[in-house]
Chain A
Amino acid sequence: MPCIDTSARISRPDDLYQMLIDAHQGLSDDDSMKLNAKLVLLLANQIGDMDILSQAIDLARESASPSGEIAA
């Protein structure tokens, strides 16, 4: 099974961070949420590998949960 690569791969991290924040400029919270959803879908399709995506979801969920555990 392919493993998600969590090493630093973005050469200009500050620029990317700025791009993400700028993309949400002037949007309501709902529209921001929708924009993020579109980004997730576009990037997921680009990755195209369910194993990698599943690992990404697990990692994201892990750090989102206060207990560090994934809800059943």
Chain B
Amino acid sequence: MAQTASIPVYKPLGASPVPKAGDQHAEVVIVGGGPVGLTLALDLAQKGRQVVVLSKLDFIPAGSKAICFAKRSLDIMDRLGVAERMIKKGVVWNVGKVFHADRDEPLYQFDMLPVKGQKNPGFINLQQYYVEAYLIDALAENPNADLRWGHEVTGLTQREDHAVLTVSAAGAQYSIKGNWVVASDGSKSPLRQMLGLDFEGRIFEDNFLIADVKFTEERPSERWFWFDPPFNGAGSALLHKQPDDIWRLDFQLGWDIDRDACIRPENVEPYVRGMIGDDIGFSEEWYSVYTFQCRRMRHFVHDRVIFAGDSAHLVSPFGARGCNGGIADADNLAWKLDLALRGEAGQSLIDSYNYEAIVTADENIRNSTRSTDFMTPKSKVSQAFRDAVLELASKHPFARPFVNSGRLSTPVSYTHSMLNTLDQDHWDGGVAPGSPALDAALDDGWLLDLLGDEFVLMTNGGDARLDGVRLVDLTSYQAANVAVERYGLPPGGAYLFRPDQYVAARWHAPTCAELEQALAAAKGNADHAVH
């Protein structure tokens, strides 16, 4: 299907042929070829599941869109073998600075990687299209994945134990059956509309201009955010470096504006000049105006159709919680679908995706809503508090943590997930059940690399074992002291990790029965624990 002329093209992929007649079937059909759908497809394909990806576009769209990839996303991409390319191409940064009015010194600065000695950096900036291209390259080498470009879903029928999609491609129609269908088809999700579902939450009445521009200048790789800078009377501004000498400039515009006029080059130029000065030559890469919403669907799992990424939840961009939140969905869902398709888990594990992905979405929505309320005060009194914070922050350290220019994406813990086994022992620190693994150097390698993508029992000596679960015994490494310390793991103690590298349970001295019960619980089978 020839695709909309209004979307700029980064890389043509060519329309995929219409499959030959016959029963079309895949274990998982993923609708949408953005970063969330592609991440999920790669994860599932690497686990041996047969996946079909349907994308109505037959190209990778240009426009930088998402540019910030957080450490947790990099850890996930590393597990899938894609992070190395991303980090090599991306701009690595850990430091963010916040400025106010015309003061040259930052009011406040933060470090996105407070715990040093981990394999991956706190953040990289990288245009979304590079990430999509790398995922597509990795998928092309995997025989379990079938990527279909220019294939648009036009109909959906739910059945008892599968769903059937009607697909339009190259003027023809065909249908395909999926044991599971994942709708990662974006904020306007056609599948969500086909099911008659909608979002709940807030829409913010403000417009922001994105000006991705190209210029050459040595500047530190840091996130710079301004409140009320002299070059933007309407509010805040953001400067962020991307690869290829491209910079993301972001300007708050206010509500009552002419959106088409705002992205005309002659109207963008004064904003860019105000920020970077008159001396530097620059060229347009991508201009766009956006408003945003902080909303989500009430449920993400609807029988055999599961929503992930922007189709399920939307946040404001300040905090990089959109794409990172979507990648977290894919990470959470892949191993659960895999176990369900293997017959090792039932509906309760899929339902735990609904719970855990909503915990993540709610935390992301809460944070981005708070950031937005701070950046764009909606009443006189919230303006007064915001200005009070900014003015106090220049002199008094206590006020600086209140300054909210976006709370950047960090991994979300599922403290109350039904997959966790509650601590029975007293722990000082360590990593609690429902939290993601913390990386640590182990001899010449890294703990996260050892955890991989399956259940792992990590011990500190002792005889704890679990049938069918890989053992990582820290005493078999020369330099495991950092890991032992970060996990607060006493001799004979153990941690059980899920395939998405979250902690499921931990013990000082586990019994066989406790280990097996925790494994069953982590698979959603708490009631069927076997001995």
Q: Do A and B come from one complex?
A: yes
For B402, list chain A residues within 8 Å (CB): 41
Q: Give A19-44 as 1s and 0s: 1 = Cβ < 8 Å from B's Cβ atoms.
A: 00000000000100111111011100
Say whether A55 faces chain B, with CB atoms less than 8 Å apart. Answer: no
For B280, list chain A residues within 8 Å (CB): none
Say whether A45 faces chain B, with CB atoms less than 8 Å apart. Answer: yes
B385 and A45 within 8 A (CB): no
For B392, list chain A residues within 8 Å (CB): 38, 41-42
Give the size of the chain B interface in residues (CB under 8 angstroms): 13
B384 and A34 within 8 A (CB): yes
A36 and B399 within 8 A (CB): no
Among B384, B396, B398, B399, the most chain A Cβ lie within 10 Å of the Cβ of B384
Say whether B391 faces chain A, with CB atoms less than 8 Å apart. Answer: yes
B391 and A33 within 8 A (CB): no
A40 vs B384: C-alpha distance in the bound complex, in angstroms?
11
B384 and A30 within 8 A (CB): yes
A37 and B398 within 8 A (CB): no
B399 and A41 within 8 A (CB): yes
A33 and B380 within 8 A (CB): yes
A34 and B388 within 8 A (CB): yes
For A34, list chain B residues within 8 Å (CB): 384, 387-388, 391
For B389, list chain A residues within 8 Å (CB): 37, 41
For A41, list chain B residues within 8 Å (CB): 385, 388-389, 392, 398-399, 402
- How close is A60's CB to chain B, nearest CB, in angstroms? 13
For A40, list chain B residues within 8 Å (CB): 385, 388
Say whether B381 faces chain A, with CB atoms less than 8 Å apart. Answer: yes
Among B381, B388, B398, B399, the most chain A Cβ lie within 10 Å of the Cβ of B388
A50 vs B391: C-alpha distance in the bound complex, in angstroms?
23
For A33, list chain B residues within 8 Å (CB): 380-381, 384
A30 and B380 within 8 A (CB): yes
A36: nearest residue on chain B (CB-CB)? B384
Q: A42-B392, A45-B398 are in contact. Are A37 and B380 (CB under 8 A)?
A: no
For B391, list chain A residues within 8 Å (CB): 34, 38
For A38, list chain B residues within 8 Å (CB): 388, 391-392
Give the secondary structure class of A's interface: helix
A33: nearest residue on chain B (CB-CB)? B384
B384: nearest residue on chain A (CB-CB)? A33
- How close is B228's CB to chain A, nearest CB, in angstroms? 14
A44 vs B387: C-alpha distance in the bound complex, in angstroms?
17
- How close is B458's CB to chain A, nearest CB, in angstroms? 35
A30 vs B391: C-alpha distance in the bound complex, in angstroms?
14
- How close is A24's CB to chain B, nearest CB, in angstroms? 13
A41 vs B391: C-alpha distance in the bound complex, in angstroms?
12
- How close is B391's CB to chain A, nearest CB, in angstroms? 7
Q: Give B46-69 as 1s and 0s: 1 = Cβ < 8 Å from A's Cβ atoms.
A: 000000000000000000000000
A39: nearest residue on chain B (CB-CB)? B388
- Complex partner residue of B385 from A30, A37, A42, CB under 8 angstroms: A37
Q: Give B334-349 as 1s and 0s: 1 = Cβ < 8 Å from A's Cβ atoms.
A: 0000000000000000
A37 vs B380: C-alpha distance in the bound complex, in angstroms?
11
For A36, list chain B residues within 8 Å (CB): 384
For A42, list chain B residues within 8 Å (CB): 392, 396, 398
A46: nearest residue on chain B (CB-CB)? B398
A44: nearest residue on chain B (CB-CB)? B398
Among B336-393, those with CB < 8 Å from A are: 380-381, 384-385, 387-389, 391-392
- How close is B13's CB to chain A, nearest CB, in angstroms? 50
For B381, list chain A residues within 8 Å (CB): 33, 37
B386: nearest residue on chain A (CB-CB)? A37
- How close is B410's CB to chain A, nearest CB, in angstroms? 21
- How close is B223's CB to chain A, nearest CB, in angstroms? 25
- How close is A19's CB to chain B, nearest CB, in angstroms? 18
A48: nearest residue on chain B (CB-CB)? B398
- How close is A57's CB to chain B, nearest CB, in angstroms? 13
18 A-B pairs, CB-CB below 8 angstroms? A30-B380, A30-B384, A33-B380, A33-B381, A33-B384, A37-B381, A37-B384, A37-B385, A37-B387, A37-B389, A40-B385, A41-B385, A41-B388, A41-B398, A41-B402, A42-B392, A42-B398, A45-B399
**Further contacts, 7 of them, CB under 8 A, given A34-B384, A42-B396:** A30-B384, A35-B388, A37-B384, A37-B388, A37-B389, A41-B389, A41-B392
List chain A positions with a Cβ less than 8 A from chain B: 30, 33-38, 40-42, 45
A-B residue pairs, 7 tightest by C-beta: A37-B388, A33-B384, A38-B388, A37-B385, A45-B398, A37-B384, A34-B384
